[in-house]
Structure 1
Amino acid sequence: MHMLIARRVPVKDLAWLSFAAVGTSLALLTSCATSQPVGSPRDITAATSLKEARSSQLPPEKRAADYLLAAALTAPELESGREETPARNIYNTAAAELTILLRSADGGRLWNHPFTFAGDKATYHLQLAPAGYGIWAPDYFTAFKPPAEVERKAVKNLNTQSGVGGALVGVRAVTPRENFAPFKGIAAPVTATLDFQGSEAILALRRPAKEPMAKVEGKLRPLAADYTAAISYYHPPSNFLAKKLMATFQPGRYEDKIGLYFLQPYDPDRIPVVFVHGLASSPFMWSQTINEIQADPQLRERYQFWVFAYPTGYPPLYSALRLREELAKVDKLYPNHRGYVLVGHSMGGNLVHMQVVTVTPAMWERSMGQPAKEVLAGVTHDSLIYRSLIFQANSRINRVVFVCTPHRGSETALSGLARFGRSLIALPLALTSTMRQSLVDVDLTQFTGSARRLPNSVSGLSPNNPSLKIVNSATISTPYHSIIGDRGRGDSPNSTDGVVPYWSSHLAGAKSELIVPGPHGSESLLQTVAELQRILRLHLGASDAPRADVAQASY
């Protein structure tokens, strides 16, 4: 096993590091221009070539030749690749900036076909390495971004890997949008490396999370990478708070945004971890958590991270149905995918809970009597109401984690403020019409506290809601874990996270239960992240049994 040097730097120090790096480069270039003895003569020539390659006044072919010369001159001096030297910095910068130039110049005219680049001092014949186990297909990404240009407000620490190659964020954004791709495109860490044999050069787009060590210039070396930049590419919009509230109070406006989103290109070899957010929240809440989890090299190599997005004003039973449907789409498109791990926070945990239990008509009839029997008899099995109320446990889910989840509801949902908020939630007409037609014989007071009010997310979290009792009466079909906040008071089992009391979040039979000293929003707490990492490592031991070969995804 090769030991790699990973860096975990607070984001607040990123500006200082960037300034220092830029200052070092400027000092190097300045010393070259004034003939000061910094670095080897090859480094000085390479730095001059790199400076010329950055001139936007030159044609892209000439700039590419200068980038290649800078990399070719410094490649023999990479040594182990672990040491930060002027040669490695020049090589890495040249590889990264050449990749961005070739992909973007003239609409990609120079991309992914053999090309000869002639400069004043050298001529190179360049081709891109084809897709392989640790190499991306050249045409998969539509753009590349330098990590320094990615906003990182949603994360606290910077997870990078020191080594050889230009660290980049690869972005695939195509129209029409592909299945499970975020609306702004799908992103992944990429490391650009160059190998030379005389005037022949090969540019490889490497996958550092999958293969952190690679043979570059004939020697196995650690690859440079920026894992935080890729997850930070999905930063919240400027009107983030307004959109969260709108998705709660007017969920119908976000119906077309409901879905499962891959935060990395699909990988048949990795285990999918699906994160589900809670009430008045969004998938962006998981950025910090995912960033910290993937700081562990083993976890980022073995897992891929997805999120489920939904407007949180909808009744939990309906949102759980939509999650069920999204997972079924994955099963259809990628039938041999690895079994899921699901992580749900708050109401998202309720949605997760409803993926791993089986609810039958008899359970509703025992709880609500004749009205439930009449409702189910009056709708077809493919109707929205029936599919929301009656469901099977998903056998492809192999483990779940509940974070601050109100399995038995929360008395907060009964408060005056909650009643006021509930009255503001406007469900779309199509959904309200369906519910009114199907629930005409049901006493809605059991669901919402009012005979005239239809169910929504707030009423769905009331301790009096019969759906919670029914779901909790069913056996969970897969190993499960609980993470519960107590605000640091150490008073469990009489504790609360400020929203969900222990009596609601506790589940007997959990493989583990951890009390963390945080509030309801404890999903990114250090203790929570450490527990998620522990659970995911534990899961690896249970999921390494031999399995059938998996067809590669089409990228």
Structure 2
Amino acid sequence: MRGGVTRRWWRVLGVLALASLLAACSPPVRRLAPPLRSPDATLAAARSWAMDAMRQSSSERAARGWLRCAAGAYRAALAGGAKADEAVALDTQCTGHLLDFLLATEEERWRPRTLDVGGDALAVELGQLSPDLAGAPMFVRADRIAISTLMFGQRFATNGFGVALVAATRRCEGTPRCRLFPPEGVTRTAVAWVEADADGGTPRLVFADPLKLGSVAIGRREYVLSMDTTAPYAMLADASQLKQQAIRNLLVNGKDIGQRQGVYLLEDYDPRKIPVVMLHGLGGSPLVWARLTNRIQGTPALRSRYQVWHVVYQTNAPVLLSRLRVQGFLDDAWAAVDPAAHDAAREHLVLVGHSMGGIIARLLTADSGEVLWRAAFLVPEPELHGAADDIAAIRRLFRFTPYPGADVAFFLATPHHGSPIAEDFFGRLALRLVKPGGPELDAIMRLVKAQPEAFQPDLVRSYRERGLSSISTLRTDQPVSRAAWSLLPAPGVRYYTIAGSLPGEAVPGDGVVPLESSFLPGAVSTTTVTSGHRVYRNDEAINLIVKTLGDSP
């Protein structure tokens, strides 16, 4: 019995030895990679991951499912096929869910790095974002930002590939250009999507600027990127302190506004685009231009040709002083963005002014000649006695030429010939409350005291009785203001007047500015809309400006 068992074991060992010998003589067995999935199969797997993500009770595991869904959908789109568009839409949808998790759980400020999403790696890439963003940006989903229809009119958004975002950072420091951004920070358009290589590897979460890229190629197809041009401005407006500072700007010496007055850019400076410079009115702020700004930035044909520049200025100062200051703000802006003075953007300038801002816009397009000097002084400049700096300041106020490039202007509800509001009870009250200041006004005061006989008696009387302020210079009996009425835009400037009119007003007009004060001879068009003084919110007025800009040669 034992001998039989021994013989069987020897036979088994012999078979094994023979098998080993044959294996040694045969070529090695090659491991074959699994066949590549078809685009349809890849897309089906991505949908499966989406269904799995929806069933998860753990937010982290759900995020991993959304990541795998987005990466798989991108691979399916990359491979092409009849369902490529469907794959792109799925990538966008799953990226959105993934971002909801990441924006809530990751660091607020984003930098290139590799994230761990439920055990899966995800590389973060910050692509072509706005160069005006200082440091690591914060991202907010654009569709999570509320839009006030009263303020902005409507939301301008494009539903394409990727998730529309707003990128935000603090304002930069240390260069003149940094002064062109609001103190609250910088907000710009952004978009994000998940992409992955066809042969696997770590998927990537890409952040980019849709205004710069426009579209991306996936496989053999080009896809327009998602973007929301309203959300960045709405986010900034919500954080802005200008709403509280606007009235204080008028009544409390304008100190808050004085610290932030100047030109502000809400988008990247473009050396080829025409600046549209917007000037608010008395006690106002650039926020009044939300609707018009939104329309320009949200209309592709206008956005490609124009860039919006907002001006903040102290509205308690006399109009001539405000004109001088705005001129300086524009000069400073050009020095910051185009110090060599070579950019094509300098060749044309559009001015849009509301109320007192309209007067400033008109004076920026006019040549004063000797009109204002003669209205203020009885002697030529060489016969003025005083410090050289004081006389130079006076000269800048009363003598000027059209601002370079300013060749189109829109005047909204503008009291070109004064306003009776400046003379009624509220105007007289405002005269007591509005107390402007500035070196130019101090220079006038010193010259009046030193040489009162050199000034027109009416101006001296007006100055002593009412002072020099934005309110006093809107009165119809102010001699220099009356003289300024005759200063029309220079030849070659195309200008448009838009006036408001309310039914039932004793004096036809918008309740603040009479119709007859709003009109100017020589205008390309004179339009009256049914509106109070806030013509900047009137759709008919905005449509006219937008159409004119679009039709301009």
Relative to the length of structure 1, the TM-score reads: 0.76
Q: Are the aligned partners of 2:366 and 2:401 in contact in 1 as well (CA < 8 Å)?
A: yes
Shift of 1:419: 0.9
In structure 1, what is the equivalent of residue 184 of structure 2? 184
Looking at structure 1, the residues matched to 138 and 58 of structure 2 have their Cα atoms a distance apart, in angstroms, of 18
Q: Are the aligned partners of 1:124 and 1:200 in contact in 2 as well (CA < 8 Å)?
A: yes
Give unpaired runs (5+ residues) of structure 1.
1-38, 543-555
2:98 corresponds to which letter in structure 1? A
More divergent stretch after superposition (73-82 vs 310-319): 73-82
Distance 1:174 1:291, change over 3 A: closer
Aligned partner (choices 531, 534, 545) of residue 547 of structure 2: 534
Looking at structure 1, the residues matched to 371 and 163 of structure 2 have their Cα atoms a distance apart, in angstroms, of 58
In structure 2, what is the equivalent of residue 161 of structure 1? 158
Other structure's SS at 2:368 match: coil
In structure 2, what is the equivalent of residue 479 of structure 1? 494
Shift of 1:402: 0.8
Shift of 1:519: 1.5
In structure 2, what is the equivalent of residue 72 of structure 1? 71
Looking at structure 1, the residues matched to 137 and 495 of structure 2 have their Cα atoms a distance apart, in angstroms, of 39
In structure 1, what is the equivalent of residue 481 of structure 2? 468
Q: Are the aligned partners of 1:165 and 1:192 in contact in 2 as well (CA < 8 Å)?
A: yes
In structure 1, what is the equivalent of residue 396 of structure 2? 387
* Pair 1:403 & 2:412 matched: yes
Q: Are the aligned partners of 1:447 and 1:460 in contact in 2 as well (CA < 8 Å)?
A: no
1:69 corresponds to which letter in structure 2? R
Other structure's SS at 1:523 match: helix
Distance 1:204 1:42, change over 3 A: closer
Other structure's SS at 1:158 match: coil
Shift of 1:164: 1.1
- Cα deviations across residues 369-388 of structure 1 (Å, max 9, x unaligned)? 51574786646478433322
In structure 1, what is the equivalent of residue 17 of structure 2? none
In structure 2, what is the equivalent of residue 364 of structure 1? 372
Q: Are the aligned partners of 1:213 and 1:220 in contact in 2 as well (CA < 8 Å)?
A: yes
Relative to the length of structure 2, the TM-score reads: 0.76
Alignment of 1:168-179 (within 5 A): 168-176=165-173, 178-179=178-179
Shift of 1:297: 2.2
Shift of 1:446: 3.1
Q: Are the aligned partners of 2:69 and 2:94 in contact in 1 as well (CA < 8 Å)?
A: yes
Q: Are the aligned partners of 1:407 and 1:504 in contact in 2 as well (CA < 8 Å)?
A: yes
Q: Are the aligned partners of 2:497 and 2:519 in contact in 1 as well (CA < 8 Å)?
A: yes
In structure 2, what is the equivalent of residue 29 of structure 1? none
2:516 corresponds to which letter in structure 1? W
Looking at structure 1, the residues matched to 133 and 429 of structure 2 have their Cα atoms a distance apart, in angstroms, of 54
Q: Are the aligned partners of 1:96 and 1:192 in contact in 2 as well (CA < 8 Å)?
A: no
Looking at structure 1, the residues matched to 248 and 134 of structure 2 have their Cα atoms a distance apart, in angstroms, of 38
Distance 1:495 1:317, change over 3 A: same
Alignment of 1:404-423 (within 5 A): 404-423=413-432
2:372 corresponds to which letter in structure 1? W
Shift of 1:192: 1.9
Looking at structure 1, the residues matched to 236 and 100 of structure 2 have their Cα atoms a distance apart, in angstroms, of 21
Aligned partner (choices 77, 80, 98) of residue 94 of structure 1: 98
Aligned partner (choices 249, 252, 256) of residue 250 of structure 1: 252
* Pair 1:505 & 2:513 matched: no
In structure 2, what is the equivalent of residue 23 of structure 1? none
Distance 1:455 1:236, change over 3 A: farther
Give unpaired runs (5+ residues) of structure 2.
1-42, 78-82
Looking at structure 1, the residues matched to 540 and 101 of structure 2 have their Cα atoms a distance apart, in angstroms, of 39
1:438 corresponds to which letter in structure 2? L
Identity across matched positions, percent: 22
Looking at structure 2, the residues matched to 448 and 68 of structure 1 have their Cα atoms a distance apart, in angstroms, of 76
Greater Rg by CA? 2
Other structure's SS at 2:359 match: helix
Looking at structure 1, the residues matched to 327 and 94 of structure 2 have their Cα atoms a distance apart, in angstroms, of 49
Q: Are the aligned partners of 2:143 and 2:164 in contact in 1 as well (CA < 8 Å)?
A: no
Q: Are the aligned partners of 2:71 and 2:91 in contact in 1 as well (CA < 8 Å)?
A: no
More divergent stretch after superposition (174-183 vs 322-331): 174-183
1:454 corresponds to which letter in structure 2? G
Looking at structure 1, the residues matched to 484 and 48 of structure 2 have their Cα atoms a distance apart, in angstroms, of 69
Shift of 1:220: 1.0
Shift of 1:43: 2.5
Q: Are the aligned partners of 2:76 and 2:84 in contact in 1 as well (CA < 8 Å)?
A: no
Looking at structure 2, the residues matched to 241 and 138 of structure 1 have their Cα atoms a distance apart, in angstroms, of 24
Count of matched residue positions in the alignment of Structure 1 and Structure 2: 485
Looking at structure 2, the residues matched to 65 and 136 of structure 1 have their Cα atoms a distance apart, in angstroms, of 32
Shift of 1:393: 0.9
Alignment of 1:172-321 (within 5 A): 172-176=169-173, 178-197=178-197, 198-199=200-201, 201=203, 203-216=205-218, 218-235=220-237, 243-254=245-256, 255-321=258-324
Distance 1:470 1:172, change over 3 A: farther
Other structure's SS at 1:433 match: helix
Other structure's SS at 1:179 match: helix
Looking at structure 1, the residues matched to 484 and 363 of structure 2 have their Cα atoms a distance apart, in angstroms, of 7
* Pair 1:150 & 2:154 matched: no
Looking at structure 1, the residues matched to 510 and 288 of structure 2 have their Cα atoms a distance apart, in angstroms, of 18
Looking at structure 1, the residues matched to 401 and 331 of structure 2 have their Cα atoms a distance apart, in angstroms, of 12
Distance 1:193 1:408, change over 3 A: same
2:543 corresponds to which letter in structure 1? A
Q: Are the aligned partners of 2:134 and 2:171 in contact in 1 as well (CA < 8 Å)?
A: no
Looking at structure 1, the residues matched to 167 and 486 of structure 2 have their Cα atoms a distance apart, in angstroms, of 46
Q: Are the aligned partners of 1:195 and 1:203 in contact in 2 as well (CA < 8 Å)?
A: yes
Shift of 1:77: 5.9
| Larger helix proportion of the pair | 2
Looking at structure 2, the residues matched to 458 and 240 of structure 1 have their Cα atoms a distance apart, in angstroms, of 21
2:496 corresponds to which letter in structure 1? H
